[in-house]
Chains A and B, each alone.
Chain A
Amino acid sequence: DAMVIQNPRYQVTQFGKPVTLSCSQTLNHNVMYWYQQKSSQAPKLLFHYYDKDFNNEADTPDNFQSRRPNTSFCFLDIRSPGLGDAAMYLCATSRAGYRSSDEQYFGPGTRLTVT
Chain B
Amino acid sequence: GQQLNQSPQSMFIQEGEDVSMNCTSSSIFNTWLWYKQDPGEGPVLLIALYKAGELTSNGRLTAQFGITRKDSFLNISASIPSDVGIYFCAGLGTSGSRLTFGEGTQLTVNP
Query: Is B97 a contact of A103 with CB atoms below 8 Å?
Result: no
Partner of A109 from B40, B45, B102 at Cβ < 8 Å:
B40
B96 at the interface (CB under 8 A from A): yes
Contacts of A6 in B (CB 8 A): 42
Q: What 0/1 readout, one digit per residue, does chain A (85-115) give for beta carbons within 8 Å of chain B? A: 0001010101011111111111111010000
The answer on a CB contact under 8 Å between B97 and A42 is no
| Total contacting residues, chain B, CB less than 8 A | 25
Query: Which of B33, B35, B104 has a CB less than 8 Å from the CB of A40?
Result: B104
A90-B43, A108-B41 are contacts. A97–B88 as well, Cβ < 8 Å? no
Interface residues in chain A, defined as those with a beta carbon under 8 Å from any beta carbon in chain B: 4, 6, 31, 40-43, 45, 48, 50, 88, 90, 92, 94, 96-109, 111
Binding site for A on B (CB under 8 A): 30-31, 33, 35, 40-45, 48, 50, 86, 88, 90, 92, 96-99, 101-104, 106
> Closest chain B residue to A97 by CB distance?
B97
A46 → B minimal CB distance (Å): 12
Q: With A and B bound together, what is the CA distance between A99 and B94 in angstroms?
A: 7
> In the complex the two chains form, is A108's CB within 8 Å of B96's CB?
no
What A residues does B30 contact at CB under 8 A?
Answer: 101
B44 touches A106 (CB 8 A): yes
Q: CB-CB < 8 A to A96: which residues of B?
A: 97
Give bound CA distance, A31 to B96, whole Å: 12
Interface centre among B43, B44, B106 (most CB of A within 10 A): B43
Contacts of A109 in B (CB 8 A): 40-42
Shortest CB distance B48–A (Å): 5
